[in-house]
Amino acid sequence: MPQSYLDEPPQSATLTPYDREHMTLYLRLLDAATDGAPWEEAVSVLFGLDPRREPERAKRVHDSHLARARWMSESGYRLLLR
């Protein structure tokens, strides 16, 4: 069963408790994107959402978390080293 999540992760220039709690989710999203998995499949597997029932919400959840995951991989990870 997917862990609990917000529809959009908190936006911050620093790591948030949410980021730390969802690190595995972020990594799985990055893997899915790198592997070319359809976003519909990723949001279904990782968030337990049905993109056919809630297409706008599912897309927003996926895209906002993927954007945060990319931020973590590009610069946010440096904050883990402190």
Question: What would the two tokens of residue 54 be?
Answer: 């809630």
* CA 29 to centroid of chain Cα atoms: 6
Please work out, in degrees rounded to the nearest 5, the angle formed at the alpha carbon of residue 35 by the alpha carbons of 51 and 68.
Answer: 65
Mean pLDDT of the region 72-82: 78
The ranges assigned to domains in the chain are: 15-79
- Does position 1 have pLDDT exceeding 50, yes or no? no
Q: What is the pLDDT of residues 3-36, one digit of tens each?
A: 799 999 999 998 999 999 999 999 999 999 999 9
For 21-76, write each residue's pLDDT tens digit: 999 999 999 999 999 999 999 999 999 999 999 999 999 999 999 999 999 998 87
Q: Residue 2: its pLDDT value, please?
A: 53
